[in-house]
Amino acid sequence: NGEGSVTVEVKKTGKDSFLSGVIKLVQEAQESKSRTQNLANRAAFWLTIIGISAGIITLVVWLVVLDREFVFSLERSVTVMVITCPHALGLAIPLVVAVSTAISARNGLLIRNRAAFERARNIDAIIFDKTGTLTKGEFGVTNILSLSKEINESELLK
């Protein structure tokens, strides 16, 4: 609010900031697929092939074998394809994953890898490293306490 100059040192730009790193991790998590999602995608692929094949067979049977009109046969064919279409399966899992990721983020839980998150339900014990790695995001020793009076801090660090 006065005259003069201010010198500012920029240590990190936007892309190197902690927030940018978190955003990148969330994007990577959104791109990763869990085992369940991969299984659903494979099932959806084969169900699509089966549905299209059933529709084509229906068209041929009604049109050629039963000698019905093309429009009537096509209507039956499309009906079979719509009924056998597995797109609901292909949409359900990504929707559940997106909602659960958003709810987790709202509650302070960052899911970096969906497959690992899915396997986490089998965890029996958790061990935390209380060196600041989890809270500050950087490695470091905050305190040294020697239980022996004969060994000082510098000896412990050797």
What's the pLDDT score for residue 61? 96
Distance, in Å, from the CA atom of 58 to the CA atom of 75, rounded to the nearest integer, reads: 10
Give the model's confidence band at 100: pLDDT under 50 very low, under 70 low, under 90 confident, else very high. confident
Model confidence pTM above 0.75: no
Give the residue extent of every domain in the chain. Answer: 14-125
**Contact in structure between 112 and 30 (CB atoms under 8 Å):** no
Give the model's confidence band at 25: pLDDT under 50 very low, under 70 low, under 90 confident, else very high. confident
pLDDT per position as a tens digit, 31-73: 777 788 788 888 888 888 998 899 999 999 999 999 999 989 9
Q: Which of 16, 67, 124, 129 is catalytic?
A: 129
- Residue 129 falls in the annotated catalytic set: yes
Distance, in Å, from the CA atom of 47 to the CA atom of 83, rounded to the nearest integer, reads: 11
Torsion angles phi and psi, residue 128, rounded to 5: -105, 140
**Other CB atoms within 10 Å distance of the CB of residue 57:** 12
**Mean pLDDT score of the chain:** 77
